[in-house]
Amino acid sequence: MNRYVITILFYLMLTSFDIPNNGKVQTKWLTDSNGKKIKKERETQWNSRGDVVKSVEYIDGTEPLVMEFSYVYQAGRKVKQTDLRSHEFTVYTYDKSGRLIQEILYTAKKEIEEKKVHAYTQKGRNIIFTEAYDGKKLLTPYMRSTFEYYPNNLLKKEVQTVSGSWFSTRELQYDNKNHLIYEGEEADGGVGLVKHYYTYKGNVLVKDMVKVPDTGTAYYIYETKIH
């Protein structure tokens, strides 16, 4: 059901047609409490516009199956993404203000697998809610996310329901430079409230401390290089 609900760890190779690949690369390491590296968790690469062009997730010290995508852009906006292995593809639609209002995922046979729609406030770019539909029915949304914002328009809270029942919540806090410093996540049937605490050096994320109920605290460091 849930391409949008279930997190999939993957290696993402992005091929764009009009955007240079000359941004930054960030490596995320799992460490002990003293900052000693234990194993690599993820590498992410951005282009100069800030779009993710490559992401590698390391599971138990090894890379997962490689997945490759091609992207098509028009007027600086992503309008199509194609999975080069499964041949599934997603088409993105925007309103006159350039806001993303619809995402449709098609199978290799060009049948609708999922549709996701976004509704916005009348005056701003803030999303009021997002709904995802099962491509086989496309009558009633199986998932709905609603959003709450701070006065400066930064995201404050997201509540997700699946089939009308509560599924998960996410709450965020920022520092006076608008850096995300706290993120609390809780899922129905999960382990409880998972708390992330982020630390920055200047404008660069350098540490992440994650507290998981009944499990303990995990520590991560981030190394960032600019091309």
Confidence of residue 67 (pLDDT cuts 50, 70, 90): low
CA distance 155 to 162: 21
User: In terms of C-beta density within 10 A (0-12 exposed, 13-18 middle, 19 or more buried), how is residue 105 classed?
Assistant: buried
**What is the residue type of 119?**
A
Domain ranges for the chain, please list them.
1-79
The answer on pLDDT for 220 being more than 90 is yes
Distance (Å) of CA 128 to CA 2, 9, 113, 125, 155:
21, 28, 24, 9, 11
- What the block records as the tokens of 205 is 């994320």
User: pLDDT at position 124, please?
Assistant: 76
Side-chain half-sphere CA neighbours of 166 within 13 A: 10
Contacts of the segment 129-138: beta carbons below 8 A, 24+ positions apart: 132/4, 134/1, 135/105, 135/111, 138/112
4 contacts 20 by C-beta, under 8 angstroms:
no
- Give the mean pLDDT of the chain: 84
Query: pTM here?
Result: 0.76
pLDDT digits over 111-134, tens only?
A: 999 999 999 988 778 999 999 999
CA distance 47 to 53: 6
User: pLDDT at position 10, please?
Assistant: 29
